[in-house]
Amino acid sequence: MKRKLATTLIFAIVLTTFFAPAAQGATAAPTQSAIFIDGTAVSFEAYNIGGNNFIKLRDLAFAMTGTAAQFDVDWDGKNILLNTGKPYTVVGGEMAAKGSGAQNAAPSNLAVIRDGVKIPMSAYNIGGNNYFKLRDVAQILDFAVDYVGGNVVVDTSKPYTMPEGTVLAVNSYPLLLVGMTKAQIDAKLGAPVLVDELSGVRYANGLKLGFDVDIMGDIPTDSNRCYYVSGLLSHIVSACPNTLTLSQVRALFGSGDMSYDEMDDRYNVVVNYGGVPLVIESDRNGTVNFKSMFFYNTLDTYTDPANDYSWVPGEWRYFSHDTGEEVTVVVKEASASKLVIEGTLNYFGASSWVSASIFNTVLTSTDGRTYTASGVRDSWYNTLTLTVTLEGGRIRLSSDVTKFDSMARCAFAGEYVLE
C-alpha cells in the first residue's frame, strides 16, 4: 500500500484527551414512503432513521437486478463485497416482510468494498440485519434517488447528484469521496482551484482533500485515491442551523464525545462515521456552528484492498457430496508476489478413500491476483502445475498433472473454488 505522506503532516490532529466516539444508537421507524425503482413500486423492509431511509443491501441488489445499476453482494468473512454491473446472486431471505413498529438501531461498522475499493459507510444493525442509507448506496453505485410527492424515486439511468437538503440531516456526500480517484472526484466537483503537496487539493466548493501519494512532495495524479476530507460543518449537515449543541450532534450522528487538541488548543466533538472518527471543531461545551471545520481522516483505517492480503492466510475448503471430493488448503503466507500453501485432497468412495497432499509450495505472481507454480510434487510423486486465483473473497485452485507416477493411486489434481 502506498504511504500517504504528503498531506499527513499538515492534517495531523493531536488529541491529548480523547474518548472513542460512543455508539448512542437510534430509533428506526418503518418507512412510510413508497419506493419506486425505474417506475416500478417495490415493497422493501426499510426504516427511517433521522430523516433518512435505510435499507438492506441484499434487498436492494435483488430488486435492481436487470437495471443499469445492478450489483451483486458477497461476504468474505470480514467485509461486504459489492460487485457492480453483475446480477445479484440469490441466497434466500431477500425482501422479507417489514417488522411492525419502531425498532432499536445500533451503529454497525462493517467494512464495505466496492469493486476492490474499501469505503467507510454509515450503517445500523436492526434485528440482526445491517441497513445502509439509500442515498449513500446511490452515491457509491452512481444512480439517481429523489423524493417526489411523498415517494422515494430511484432512476438507475441517471447519475447520482447531491441533494439540496431542506431538512436537518447528515449529508454524507463529501465523506463518501473517500476511496474515489482524483479523476472521479474532479468529474463530480470540477477541476481543483489549488493543488499543493502541503495543503492538499482544494475545490471550488471549499472542500479540501488528501490523496495517497508515494512520498512528501508528490502532486496527486488522476489515479491517486482520496483518504482525507475536510470542510465546513455546513458541507456535511443539510439545512445546518447557526449552532448545534452536543446533544443535538449526538442525535444527528448517533454518537459524539468531547476531545481536546493540545497542539491547536482546540476542543472538538468526535463522532463515529462508518467506523472512522469524524472530528468537528467546537467550544469547550461541545457546541458547534455552521462554520465549524470538520476533519475526516481515514489514514489509519482505509486500506486499498488491491494491496491488502490479510484476508488470504488461513484454511480454505471445498467439499462435494456428488463426487466425494474434499479439498483443504492452508495459505501460510500471502503477498502481492508470493503465496505459500499446503493442502490435502481426499476422495471418498463407497467403501474406501484415498488422499494426496502438497507441502510448503511457493507460488509466484506478477499481478497480485493469479499465482502459479510448476514442477510441484504431491505426496504420490506426481508432477503438477498449480494455479491459484484470488477472486472476491474466495480462492480458485487449479491443479494439472504434467507427469503421472505409475505407482500413484491418486493425484492432487482438479479445479476447485474454496471458501
Please give the chain's pLDDT, 419 residues, in tens. 333 444 443 344 434 344 444 445 678 888 877 889 999 999 888 888 877 888 999 999 999 999 999 999 998 777 888 989 999 999 988 887 766 778 888 878 777 888 877 788 888 888 888 899 999 999 889 999 988 888 889 999 999 888 776 788 888 899 989 888 899 999 989 999 887 655 579 999 999 998 887 655 578 888 888 889 999 999 999 889 999 999 999 888 888 899 998 888 899 999 988 878 999 999 999 999 999 999 999 876 554 555 667 778 889 999 988 888 899 999 999 888 899 999 999 988 766 789 999 999 999 998 888 999 999 999 999 999 999 998 767 899 999 999 998 888 888 999 999 98
Report the candidate in 241, 234, 246, 255 with the shortest Cα–Cα distance to residue 283.
246
Q: What is the rounded distance in angstroms from the CA atom of residue 321 to the CA atom of residue 252?
A: 52
Rounded to a whole number of angstroms, the CA Rg of the chain reads 25
Backbone torsions φ then ψ of 138, nearest 5 degrees = -60, -40
Cell 480454505, residue located: 316
Tell me if residue 369 falls in helix, strand or coil. Answer: coil
Helix axes of 57-64 and 134-141: crossing angle, nearest 10 degrees: 50
Give the E-state strand segments of 20-158 in sequence order.
26-30, 35-37, 40-42, 47-49, 52-55, 71-75, 79-84, 103-108, 111-114, 117-119, 123-126, 129-133, 144-148, 151-155
Q: What is the rounded distance in angstroms from the CA atom of residue 349 to the CA atom of residue 362?
A: 31
Q: What is the rounded distance in angstroms from the CA atom of residue 147 to the CA atom of residue 149?
A: 7
Report the candidate in 215, 183, 214 with the shortest Cα–Cα distance to residue 201.
183
SS3 per residue for 287-333: CEECCCEEEEECCCCCCCHHHCCCCCCEEEEEECCCCCEEEEEEEEE
Pairing mode, if any, of strands 35-37 and 151-155? parallel
State the amino acid at position 208 in one-letter form: K
Output the DSSP codes for 112-140: EEETTEEE---EEEETTEEEEEHHHHHHH
Q: What is the rounded distance in angstroms from the CA atom of residue 233 to the CA atom of residue 268?
A: 12
pTM above 0.85, yes or no: no
State the amino acid at position 124 in one-letter form: Y
Decide if 306 contacts 114 (C-beta within 8 A).
no
Q: What is the rounded distance in angstroms from the CA atom of residue 113 to the CA atom of residue 74?
A: 10
pLDDT, residue 282, reads 95
pLDDT, residue 197, reads 53
Sign of CA dihedral 64, 65, 70, 71: positive
pLDDT, residue 289, reads 94
Q: How many CA atoms lie within 13 A of 393 on its CB side?
A: 16
Residues 6+ apart with CB under 8 A from 116: 305, 306
Number of C-beta neighbours around residue 374 at 10 A: 12
Decide if 381 contacts 408 (C-beta within 8 A).
yes
State the amino acid at position 126 in one-letter form: I
Angle at 131 between CA 130 and CA 132, to 5 degrees: 125
